[in-house]
Chains A and B, each alone.
Chain A
Amino acid sequence: MTIRQLVPYKTVLGDGTVVIADRGGAQRALETLTLALPLVSAGRDTALVAPLATAGWARAVTAAARRAGAEVRVEPVLSADFVGLTVECVGGRHGMPVRAVPDWIAAVAEPWRNEPREQADEAALRDAKRACLAGLTTDERWSSGVLRALFGPHHRYGLVHDERVARIAGCEAEDLRPVTRDLLTGPPVVALSLADPADEEAVRDALATAGRHPGQPGHPGVLPAAPRSPLPGQRPVALSLPGGRDTAYHLLGTPGVSLGSPDKFAVHMAWAMLGGREGMFGRRLREGRALTYSLAAFSREFAEAGYGVCMAVCRPGALREVADRTAAVLGDLAEGRFERALVASAKERLVIQNHRALQSGRDVTRRLCGYEIAGLPAADLVAYADRIGRVTGEQVRDVARRRLCIDEGGDEQGERTDGTTGVAVPGQEHGR
């Protein structure tokens, strides 16, 4: 049997640090460690500036690893619920230097401690800013208006690209120290994908020995903390944006569910039935009318909440018709007016997508951290295909009725921007 299965194994150290190892099957090309720090109870400014802090950590950990002779690649991790680092190395003789892991976490606590302070701070900050701003994705800038409308200006889920870029560009070294303190308040999560189980033990031993608060056996590990900013009440929102030459975007955003919601699987099914080339949006907008070519529809789930979004690129003159047809499709879903074959098709595509998203050690360790920080057992990740398989068409209809439909309370807004500002459409090739 050559298929690699995900087999997560979790332990909680005395100081609350959670270590989760993927013990599944065959070796990977790389060994991977992801260190994650929750944002759930962090302040808004911390969430805004966290990408810059992580760029500094990546630099500090890279330097620490190289001083120790390790050939590792260190990349910042930034998600809506946590930030941190992923460390990768080629397996085999020069595998992960596991005994150094506590030093790396210490390097995170004080990113620039090993260099002369004044000028080193300035140069390091400049480098970190450059790396951070280059790495901030712009692929989904078009969804900024939807996120802000759904999550409001105060919650971290409502933070948008332009605001983050402006804050980071103006950030000083002294702004980063409280951010690091804020992020290091709670215990970290460490996820591993290593070739040798003995190395997992070595990581646990090293972390336990270096524990910040040793002697607290039975610590439950990371628990979902009370959010510092409450979520606003959510209502569906429809927006339009100018696109490139002779094109416009129609955007529809709906409230979603959290990663741990029992509705998550039905919501995934709903968006899988709506999206895709043969999905309900595609049929209503393309076939016979050719109103759009680029079309994206998906949901996202975070620790505290989620959202769904549909983006259709069309002629500016077709915006009204696209908006009407999109809303009508949601109505069809909520009334159960869909082909049963769509249900089976959506299940299959979601299972394939789930396998596809868990191919590398980096993918797996980051996902394990996300589940842990959302308070979910890693076993839920393994059980995804089974849970999707049990969703019925009726459950999809019900969840659409409760969560997706634009009713008279929905916001309909036109948002103007001054030209094409590099808004990126999800990539498609010259084909179907």
Chain B
Amino acid sequence: MTVLTGAVRRVLPGGLELVAVERLGPPLAAVRLRLRAGSADEASGEHGLAHAVEHLVVRCSLQGGRVGDGALATAATGREHTTYRVLVRSGDLPAAVDVLGRAFTAPWADERILADELAVIRQEYAERAGDRRWRLQESLFSALWRPTAYAHPTLGDQPVPEGLTVEDVRRFHAARYRPAGALLVLAGEVAGQMDAVAEAASRWALEPSAPGRRGCGTGPPVRAVGAEIAEREGLAVGFAFGEPTGGDDGAHLSACRALARRAVRAVSGIDVRLLRLRGQRCTWLMLSAAHREAAAGAVGAALRSAVTRLRAPDGPAWLRAEALIPELRAVEDVESAAERALELGSAAGSWPALLAEVRAEDVTRTIGGWERRLGAVEFTRE
């Protein structure tokens, strides 16, 4: 298996971390710039600001985010980070890095541009709010992280932040869009381009570290919760729990969790989802059911049946066919390689080997842990 041929990591003078994953395949390069600026950094009364800043950075700082003739950068705001992404031909890697690096330049928005962009965000909010699954997911997170700064949706809890001004945007950008603590990931045929990229990235503003997160202390609280919303027939029900990552959140456990997710999906179709936050990992899933108890029963049955399948005499072979093979297929995708590096850093370069080392009993133990934590949850209803 030689699709990924390794990864390197450097920390540049301004504090920006650079991870490059060398990958064989079509002549493409995926670039990610992840900044420590998320909705958990917003003060009360300014919920949705991080997302509005992200829109304005794409529009103004990145000037639409076009690389060379064609590829367009995209962006997404999370609770702890905002990530800018682009996929380009290998030869355009330096230009892509240059475009994403403009995120450190303050957006020059005036009131008219701000009003334009807020109108777009209002429409985006209306579409999300019309999506039951999005509402359920946000109900789960709200229940899980109340009363911290992680509890409100990344889009904010109303269509746009009330009274938002250009000055608010500039203030948030100046405080949060810093190279210190940011992560730049390159994936593709990148080995020969590391020095040039490192030199370009070193020219980005050399500012002191961003201040600590507002109102979230050492991270979100740890608990297990459930939430439900009515559907036309029955309910959509979600279950979630958080757990401290401590010092044990290594690459091997990530590989175990990746294969455990595949195993549960193979036996039940249920997608167990994971979100890694500072000091905590959130695990959640959602499904449709007639009522809350039926949903809990279905989740328990799915997890137990995955464990039973893994413990069967042909369990290891089944794991390789149903979990390892699809996970290895994803390795071939250059954007998946970049996303993996956001999570694992340079260990992403060894991902195929890490997966191959996972045993059926490791996966059984992971799923058993999920079953214990999801067994008793406190419910909330929209």
Give the interface of A toward B (CB within 8 A). 2-4, 25-30, 62, 66, 71-73, 88-92, 134, 243-247, 276-278, 286-294, 313-315, 341, 344-349, 351-352, 355-356, 358-362, 419-421, 425, 429-432
Contacts and interface: CB of A to CB of B under 8 A. Distances in A.
Contact of B70 (A288, A349, A356): A349
A324 B317 CA distance: 57
A293 B127 contact: yes
A12 to B, nearest CB: 28
A283 B235 CA distance: 39
Question: What size tier do the contact residues of chain B reach?
Answer: 35 or more
Contacts of A73: 321-322, 325-326
Identify the 5 closest CB pairs spanning chains A and B, nearest first.
A348-B70, A244-B130, A290-B119, A431-B76, A355-B26
29 contacts: A2-B5, A3-B90, A4-B24, A26-B2, A26-B24, A27-B1, A28-B3, A29-B1, A29-B329, A29-B332, A90-B325, A90-B328, A245-B129, A276-B72, A277-B64, A277-B72, A286-B120, A288-B116, A290-B119, A291-B123, A345-B69, A352-B88, A355-B28, A359-B25, A361-B332, A429-B76, A430-B154, A430-B155, A431-B51
A91 B352 CA distance: 12
B77 interface: yes
B334 A359 contact: yes
Interface in B180-223: 189
Contacts of B64: 277-278
B58 interface: yes
B276 to A, nearest CB: 17
A134 B123 contact: no
Contacts of A314: 123
Given A29-B352, A247-B130, A431 B325 contact: no
Contacts of A289: 119
B55 A356 contact: no
Nearest to B130: A244
A430 B2 contact: no
Contact of A431 (B54, B72, B89): B54
Nearest to B72: A277
Nearest to A349: B70
Contact of B329 (A88, A92, A345): A88
B70 A352 contact: yes
B317 A66 contact: yes
Contacts of B88: 352
A60 B122 CA distance: 51
B151 interface: no
Nearest to A290: B119
Contact of A3 (B27, B326, B335): B27
A72 B82 CA distance: 39
A352 B155 contact: no
A4 B55 contact: no
Contact of A348 (B3, B68, B119): B68
Given A290-B123, A431-B76, 9 more contacts: A29-B331, A72-B325, A90-B324, A246-B129, A288-B116, A290-B122, A291-B123, A355-B27, A432-B59
A291 B122 CA distance: 10
B293 interface: no
A238 B376 CA distance: 50
Interface string B227-254: 0000010000000000000000000000
Interface in B342-361: 352
B321 A71 contact: yes
Contacts of B324: 90
A244 B325 contact: no
Contacts of A359: 25-26, 332-334
A236 B304 CA distance: 51
Most buried by A among B26, B71, B317, B326: B26
Contacts of A429: 74, 76
Given A3-B25, A347-B69, A27 B127 contact: no
Nearest to B232: A419
B128 interface: yes
Interface string B47-66: 00001001100110000111
Contacts of B24: 2-4, 25-27
B114 to A, nearest CB: 13
Contacts of A361: 329, 332
B113 to A, nearest CB: 11
Nearest to A24: B26
A58 to B, nearest CB: 12
B175 interface: no
Interface string B1-24: 111010000000000000000101
Nearest to A350: B70
A361 B69 CA distance: 29
Contacts of A344: 69-70
Interface in B110-168: 116, 119-120, 122-124, 126-132, 154-155
A73 to B, nearest CB: 4
A365 B335 CA distance: 20
Nearest to B335: A356
A143 B126 CA distance: 22
A243 B130 contact: yes
B320 interface: yes
A162 to B, nearest CB: 15
Contacts of B25: 3-4, 359
B232 A292 contact: no
B87 A315 contact: no
Contacts of B74: 277, 429, 431-432
A344 to B, nearest CB: 4
B77 A431 contact: yes
A355 B90 CA distance: 11
